[in-house]
Amino acid sequence: QESARRSVVRGLLRSALQGAMTAEAPPPPAAEGLTILQPDDYHHHLRDEPYLEHTVPFAARAFHRLLVMPNLVPPVTTTVMALEYRERILKRVPADVPEGSFVPLMTLYLTDNTTPEDIALAKVSGHVYAVKLYPAGATTNSDFGVTSYEKIMPALSKMEELGILLLVHGESTDQSVDIFEREQSFYTSTMPMIIKQCPKLRVVCEHVTSAFGVDFVLAQGPNVSATITAHHLLYNRNVIFKGGINPHFYCLPILKTEVDRRKLVEAAISSSKFFLGTDSAPHAISRKECCPGCAGCFTAHMAIELVAEAFEAEGGLDALEDFVSTRGAAFYGLPQTTKRRTLTREAWKIPKDYPFGDQTVVPLRGGETARWKLCEREA
C-alpha cells in the first residue's frame, strides 16, 4: 500500500510540475516577417528645393502613392504651381526606384481667395487630388490659410460637385483654447458647420489625435474619413517632457493623453474609416533645437516600421495592410496596388541624423534601435 501511495504522489507531482512548466513557458515568437501590399501615405511634407534631394528618396523607396502637402513658402495655391512642384519632385526620385512605382498626388492650399474656377482647373489637371484647409496660424507655414469660412464656401461647393477631397487641419486657432483641446474645439464647432453646408463633400480629417476626434469621424457618414500618423499611434504627450524638453517629439496637432493614444490605435486597427497619413515633417536641426522651435516629426525613414510596432503591441498586425495599403486608396477612389512589400523582424540602428539640404535633420528615435525593417520593393 505504501508503495502504491508513493507512486500516486509521484504521478501527481509530475503532472503538477508539467502544468507549471506549461503555464510559465513563454509565448511562441511572433512571425519573423510579413508581406503586405505596397503602402501609400496620404499626408507627407517633402518641402522644396534644396531639400527634395534628401526627402524624396525616403518617400519614394517606402511608398507607392504619396499625397504631398502644399504648405511651401510661398504656398501651392494654383494648379500651375502644383504641376511645377510635381516635376521638381519627380526629378529627385532615385534611380533604384522602378519607373512608375512612385506616384506623387498633388494638393492645393486653400485660401480666402480660392475660386470655383481654381477648383475646376485642378480637377481637369489629372494630378491634383485634394485641397488642404489650414486655419490661418494653426501650424507650420499656415499664415496664408483660411480666415473666413464664409469666403471659402463657393470653393467648397465646387469641390463637393466635382468630387475633389477637402483635407482639414482640424484645430482651433483661438488662443484662449488650451493647446491640448484645440482639436476638440474645431470638431465641436467649425467642422460640423462645414459638413452641414456641404453634406456630400468628401472630407479627410487629417492626423486626428484625440478620442474626441475619432468619435467625431465615426459618427459621420461614409464621405468623412481620417488619417492617423505613426507617431500619434506610438506616443503620448509625456514623451515631450521626459527628462526635459524633447523638441523632436513636438508636432501639431500636439501629442495627447495615453487614453487618446489607445483610442487612435483601436480605430486604426478596427475601423475602415482610418488610414495612414504620416505627416512626416522635416525641419533642420537648427529650427528644432532653438527658441521658438518648429512643430513637426520626421518619420519618413521608418514610418511603416513604427506603425508595425504600434499594431504588434496590440496584437493587430493582421490589420496592418488594411491601414497602410488599402483603405486610403479606397477612399480616394484609386486602384488597389498589386505589388507587395515585406517587413522583417530585424534590429537596426537608426542614424542620429540625416542630410537635409546643407544642414541635417534629426529623425524620430534617432540613435535608437528599431525592431522592424521594410525590405526593398519588388522590381
What distance in Å separates the CA atoms of residue 372 and residue 240, rounded to the nearest whole number?
24
Q: Which residue reads 465641436 in cell numbers?
A: 188
Residues known to be catalytic = 279
Half-sphere exposure at residue 234, Cβ-oriented, CA atoms within 13 angstroms? 21
**What is the three-class DSSP state of 232?**
helix
What distance in Å separates the CA atoms of residue 39 and residue 219, rounded to the nearest whole number?
27
Which residues are CB-neighbours of 65 under 8 A, at least 6 positions away?
Answer: 40, 41, 42, 103, 104, 105, 328, 329, 334, 337
Question: Quick one: cell of 34?
Answer: 510579413
Contact criterion met (CB below 8 Å) for 366 and 352: yes
Q: From 11, 105, 109, select the one nearest 66 (Cα to Cα).
A: 105
What distance in Å separates the CA atoms of residue 20 and residue 25, rounded to the nearest whole number?
8
Q: Give the DSSP H/E element, type plus range, for residue 195.
A: helix 190-197
Which residues are CB-neighbours of 375 under 8 A, at least 6 positions away?
Answer: 341, 342, 343, 344
232: left (phi over 0), alpha (psi -120 to 50) or beta: alpha
Contact criterion met (CB below 8 Å) for 327 and 277: no
161: left (phi over 0), alpha (psi -120 to 50) or beta: alpha
Q: What angle do CA 88, 93, 94 make, to 5 degrees?
A: 140
Question: Quick one: cell of 311?
Answer: 499594431
Instruction: Classify residue 334 by its DSSP letter.
Output: P
Q: From 233, 216, 234, select the one nearest 225 (Cα to Cα).
A: 216
Query: In 24-89, where do the E strands start and end?
Result: 33-37, 41-44, 65-68
